[in-house]
Amino acid sequence: MSKEKLRIAVQKSGRLYEDSIKILKDAGISIDNGKEQLKASSRNFPLEVMYLRNGDIPQYLRDGVVDVAIIGENVLIEKGQDIIQAEKLGFSKCRVSMAVPKSFKYSGIKDLDGMKIATSYPNTVNEFLKEKGVSAELHIINGSVEIAPNIGLADAICDIVSSGSTLFKNGLKEVEVMLKSEAVIAISPKISPERESILQKLQFRIKSVLNART
Ligand code: PRP
Ligand code: MG
């Protein structure tokens, strides 16, 4: 038998981690080590799991350093439009939305013309604003974006909204949904034919799990 293994990237920390491991487990794939080791092998399937930072995964796929990933669609839209997207996995559902302070009398996107917007999703925001013919000044921050209006850094924010609790706790209201997202399988454009055939087996198992879940 071939020693070839498929390399899959999974989010190291964050909301996708647990459900990503669970779907692999439900597909009958056991992974030995915890994520502290950053790279783990399966005992019963030709798979190597690499635990990576969300935002780094598109580049690893592009370079062919990993063959496949479980990742949020929102990250692919922001950083990996060139990467092949396969199955939607039905978990980690969220939206990428624009929000403003509750006191802001918002009547439409034109209200943000000339304003400052803090976000971790500059490409998504720029595309959205361009389409709407609105120009704004973007401040790129990587986390805790919702604090920006309260410290005077921005007039509005654009970030992931799931339960809405972070917006609520920071006195913000959601005013535009830019996109909806969930976890998906993403495939490297550089995957080899050998690994592609392992991937087909993995996808077959994952599809069976998804069918059983509905
Ligand atoms: C994410 C995201 C939002 C929040 C949305 O942040 O950036 O802030 O979750 O979830 P909610 O609508 O259920 O409150 P996270 O807590 O992962 O931290 P980070 O922004 O520092 O990365
Ligand atoms: Mg956050």
What order of strands is seen across the sheet that includes strand 84-88?
39-41, 47-52, 6-11, 68-72, 183-187, 84-88
Look at residue 1 and tell me whether its pLDDT is greater than 60. Answer: no
Instruction: Evaluate whether 118 touches 78 at the Cβ level (below 8 Å).
Output: no
pLDDT single digits (tens) 152-183: 999 999 999 999 999 999 999 999 999 999 99
Check residue 13 and give its pLDDT.
85
Nearest atom of ligand 1 to the alpha carbon of 162: 12
Write down the ipTM of this complex: 0.96
Provide the H-helix boundaries in the chain: 17-26, 57-63, 73-79, 122-132, 165-169, 193-213
Task: At 27, give phi and psi (nearest 5°).
Answer: -85, 10
Q: Which of 12, 74, 121, 160 should be mutated for ligand 1, with most atoms under 8 A from CB?
A: 160
Indicate which residue's Cα is closest to atom 3 of ligand 1.
Answer: 160
Q: Which atom of ligand 1 is nearest to the CA of 169?
A: 14
Flag whether pLDDT at 36 surpasses 80. no
Determine the 3-state secondary structure of 138 from DSSP.
strand
**pLDDT of 3 above 70:** yes
E-state strands within 127-199: 137-140, 156-161, 172-181, 183-187
**Secondary structure (3-state) at 22:** helix
Task: List residues near ligand 1 (CB under 6 A).
Answer: 14, 143-144, 146, 159-166
Which domains can be identified in the chain, with CATH numbers? 6-92+182-213 (3.40.190.10), 94-181 (3.40.190.10)
Counting ligand 1 atoms within 8 A of each CB, the residue from 162, 173, 181 with the most, and so the one to mutate, is 162
Closest ligand by atom to 174 CA: 1
Q: Average pLDDT for residues 109-114, to the nearest whole number?
A: 98
Cβ atoms 86, 186 nearer than 8 A: yes
The alpha carbon of 147 and the centre of ligand 2 are apart by a number of angstroms equal to 9
Considering the chain, what is the average pLDDT of its residues?
A: 95
Q: What is the mean pLDDT of residues 33-51?
A: 89
Give the span between the Cα atoms of 13 and 90, in whole angstroms.
19
Mutate to test the pocket of ligand 1, among 119, 161, 170 (most ligand atoms within 8 A of CB): 161
Ligand in closest contact with the CA of 96 = 1
Instruction: Output the CA 160–ligand 1 centroid distance in Å.
Output: 6
C-alpha 49 – ligand 1 centre gap (Å): 25
CA atoms of 76 and 54, how far apart (whole Å): 10
Of 208, 19, 146, 155, nearest to 11 by C-alpha is 19
